[in-house]
Amino acid sequence: MQEWLPFLLFLTLFALLMLGFPVAFTLGGVSLVFGIIGFGLDFFHLLPMRIWGVMTNYVLIAVPLFIYMGVMLEKSGLAEQLLETMALLFGKLRGGLAISVVVVGAMLAASTGIVGATVVTMGLLSLPTMLKRGYSPELATGTIAASGTLGQIIPPSIVLVLLGSILNVSVGDMFMGAVLPGLALVILYIGWVTVVSILRPELAPAMPAEERAAFRREKMWRRILVSFLMPLFLVVAVLGSIFAGIASPTEAAAVGAFGASLLTLAQKRLTYSTLKAVMQETTHLTTMVFTILVGATAFGLVFRGLDGDRILTDLILESNLSPHAFLAMVMVIVFIAGFFIDFIEITFIIVPVVAPIFQKMGVDLLWLGILLGMNLQTSFLTPPFGFSLFYLKGVAPPAIRTGHIYRGIIPFIIIQLIVLAAVIFWPQLALWLPRYLAR
């Protein structure tokens, strides 16, 4: 019976999650019940020590700071200005508006790391404009959803912070490892938009010459300076300080939070009501993350205490699965799980279970972390349950149907899978930059 308890623990947790119970409380509650069954009342001596160890983890202080930075930038109005300015700069090109959406999505990803906020912001600002300019609904929605989800992989991504913490890999290395795959996605997105614009110009028309001329007359360089260079300076300050070894990710997150506040002040939007709204949203999101973390810590303690990790490892090793076969199995499980539960829950539930097995197999955990981050990003985009698609549908005009979004996202999913496969077959895409900068 004891050997079946870890599997019963998993099945109970999965069943309750599918029934719609809150993840954080389900994790903690189920773990508490099985902990008492497995350890008796001694479980209450073990659990507080484990939770204390996690909550005093210095690396995790970066989470609320990066959340604050993202929310503050969203409230500052810089995202809106950036999108308008980039659209006018690329306006002469066919597909220029869509290219500007990809560039802005990448910059917001490097500034915020919050997928939901980026997709919603870009959907509200750019989708009506793209439709008004005669863009195909499929191309417009696909570009916005894919670009908004870049925050999952482009640093400073919160999912990379959490994965680094769980895999016991330097968060700075995770950030550096994600740079080349993230850039590859941006370049291929722009390439796809360009190809569509050349082959089917009616799907992505250029902006009218009068609007571009008016933009050049009305203090163009000042708008570029404010809208483009200020967020770029913040990105360089945060990521540059990490890559140069000047600051740890946690210290760089503090730089980012302070810098975002200064940019909002420069925009004359740092009011009491703005600060209050940012604080409330940051507290709400941080509390959600750490409540799930406490539940996941209890779950991990019980699973290991019931020898679940040993049983699972023995099963996999006895089945003679090669590291690549096991990786394929885990990637499929994570991909499907991403349809139903958030990346934070997946990170805390699945990754701690499989990480020791990968380690025994000699798999590079930095490479594994980048693959998991990209996999979660792909599941965020995949119909019918992709979270980004739901975010976009929630703010899209009534004329946009779910079918438009599903059809529009397919080329971008193919691009995601191509880059993911490239990182699997050529691990150096994720490992070269961290090793080069470590010299």
pLDDT digits (tens, 9 = 90+) for 311-342: 766 666 666 778 888 888 888 888 877 765 66
- Residues 274-321: tens digit of each pLDDT: 899 888 888 887 787 677 777 777 777 777 777 766 676 666 666 677
CB 147 within 8 A of CB 99: no
Q: For position 370, what pLDDT does the model report?
A: 93
Which two three-digit tokens encode residue 262?
């200064």
pLDDT band (50, 70, 90) for residue 119: confident
Q: For position 206, what pLDDT does the model report?
A: 66
Q: What is the CA radius of gyration of the chain?
A: 22
- Cα distance between residue 156 and residue 160, in whole Å: 8
Q: For position 191, what pLDDT does the model report?
A: 92
Of residues 313 and 252, which shows the higher confidence score? Answer: 252
Q: For position 237, what pLDDT does the model report?
A: 79
Q: For position 181, what pLDDT does the model report?
A: 93
- Cα distance between residue 16 and residue 9, in whole Å: 11
Using a 10 angstrom Cβ sphere, with 0-12 exposed, 13-18 middle and 19 or more buried, the burial of residue 389 is buried
Q: For position 91, what pLDDT does the model report?
A: 62
CB 69 within 8 A of CB 257: yes
Nearest to 424, CA basis, from 358, 379, 372: 372
Helix (H, G, I), strand (E, B) or coil at 285: helix
Expressed in percent and rounded to 5, the helix, strand and coil fractions of the chain are 85, 0, 15
Q: What is the mean pLDDT of residues 230-237?
A: 76
DSSP of 332-365? HHHHHHHHHS-HHHHHHHTHHHHHHHHHHTT--H
Q: What is the mean pLDDT of residues 369-378?
A: 89
Which two three-digit tokens encode residue 394?
């929630």
The most confident of the ranges 22-36, 184-198, 222-236 is 184-198
Comparing 86-90, 200-204, 273-277, the range with the smallest average pLDDT is 86-90
- Cα distance between residue 227 and residue 103, in whole Å: 13
Q: What is the mean pLDDT of residues 20-30?
A: 75
Of residues 153 and 43, which shows the higher confidence score? Answer: 153
Comparing 161-170, 209-218, 279-288, the range with the smallest average pLDDT is 209-218
Q: For position 422, what pLDDT does the model report?
A: 94
- Cα distance between residue 259 and residue 17, in whole Å: 39
CB 95 within 8 A of CB 234: no
Comparing 81-90, 136-145, 153-162, 268-277, the range with the smallest average pLDDT is 81-90
Q: For position 67, what pLDDT does the model report?
A: 76
Of residues 394 and 161, which shows the higher confidence score? Answer: 161
Long-range contacts at 304-307 (CB < 8 A, ≥ 24 apart) = 305/35, 305/38, 305/39, 305/46, 306/2, 306/5, 306/6, 306/9, 306/34, 306/38, 307/2, 307/3, 307/6
Q: For position 293, what pLDDT does the model report?
A: 72
- The total number of residues shown for the chain amounts to 439
Q: For position 127, what pLDDT does the model report?
A: 80
Q: What is the mean pLDDT of residues 13-28?
A: 74
Q: For position 154, what pLDDT does the model report?
A: 83
Residue 92 has pLDDT above 70, yes or no: no
Q: For position 387, what pLDDT does the model report?
A: 67
Residue 419 has pLDDT above 90, yes or no: yes
- Cα distance between residue 105 and residue 95, in whole Å: 15
Q: For position 426, what pLDDT does the model report?
A: 92
Q: Report H helices in 168-307.
A: 171-199, 209-217, 220-224, 230-243, 249-266, 272-305
CB 278 within 8 A of CB 75: yes
Q: For position 210, what pLDDT does the model report?
A: 64
- Cα distance between residue 360 and residue 166, in whole Å: 16
CB 341 within 8 A of CB 409: no
Average pLDDT of the chain is 78
Q: What is the pTM of this model?
A: 0.74
Q: For position 136, what pLDDT does the model report?
A: 86
Q: What is the mean pLDDT of residues 425-435?
A: 89
**Amino acid letter at 36?**
I
Percent of the chain with pLDDT over 70: 79
Of residues 390 and 324, which shows the higher confidence score? Answer: 324
C-alpha distance from residue 399 to each of 125, 137, 303, 351 (Å)? 16, 9, 48, 40
Q: For position 187, what pLDDT does the model report?
A: 94
pLDDT band (50, 70, 90) for residue 385: low
Give the number of other CB atoms < 10 A from CB of residue 185: 27
